[in-house]
Amino acid sequence: MVNVKAYHSLVNELKPGNIQLLAVSKLQPAQSILQLYNEGQRDFGENYVQEMLEKQEVLPNDIRWHFIGHLQSNKVKYIASFVHLIHGVDSEKLLLEINKQAAKNGRVINCLLQVHIAQEETKFGFDPQEAAILLEKLIAQPSALTHICIRGLMGMASFTENTATIRSEFKILYRLFQQFHSRVSFFDCLSMGMTSDYTIAAEEGTTMVRVGSLIFGDRK
């Protein structure tokens, strides 16, 4: 069940800092998305290709669909015609495939590099240093990938109650973001913060929070 009141208070909370809200709708019914759409929300985040396709087919055309899960190269082709922003780009192989499928569709696809900032081993992403090296390479060779636009970075902090740990991880990501944001005009998106830690992310310079359960309730 959508918590419309929590949604509006979140929108108001993010407004002064000009922080974008991505409503994370994975494992939630299309009906709940439509309910938020009718409240004015247009950006929705999904983690699974098949689920995103099914929802995209039945929901309004002006929804901006963000892919925030782990994307396998062989599935890029299914979402390349409509995806608005791919948050979890974690390999050069995936970047090349997105570029190829975007070209086939005559589009430029916006991407974020996922950076591994958490202590847990299981989370995907580039190490901060690897991400910096890749970005330098892409800046030096702007003609290499003509159908993708790297708009910024995405990261997930450790799953912990320790807010000092979370804050220090967000600081690492922010610093890296700032380093390229100051040089590249379109490098303007820092996707960090979810239900449990978006207030810390807001204090640490996020430009987009990915919030699910706070507004949609628990997932099935």
| Sign of CA pseudo-dihedral 128, 134, 135, 136 | positive
Distance (Å, rounded) from C-alpha 189 to C-alpha 150?
9
CB of 210 to ligand PLP, least distance (A): 4
Name the residue number minimizing CB distance to ligand PLP: 212
10: Cα within 13 Å, side-chain hemisphere: 26
CB of 27 to ligand PLP, least distance (A): 8
Beta strands in 117-178 (DSSP E): 148-156
Residues binding ligand PLP (CB under 6 A): 24, 26, 47, 68, 156, 194-196, 210-214
CB of 103 to ligand PLP, least distance (A): 27
CB of 144 to ligand PLP, least distance (A): 27
CB of 170 to ligand PLP, least distance (A): 14
Complex with ligand PLP: residue 75 or 147, whichever CB lies closer = 75
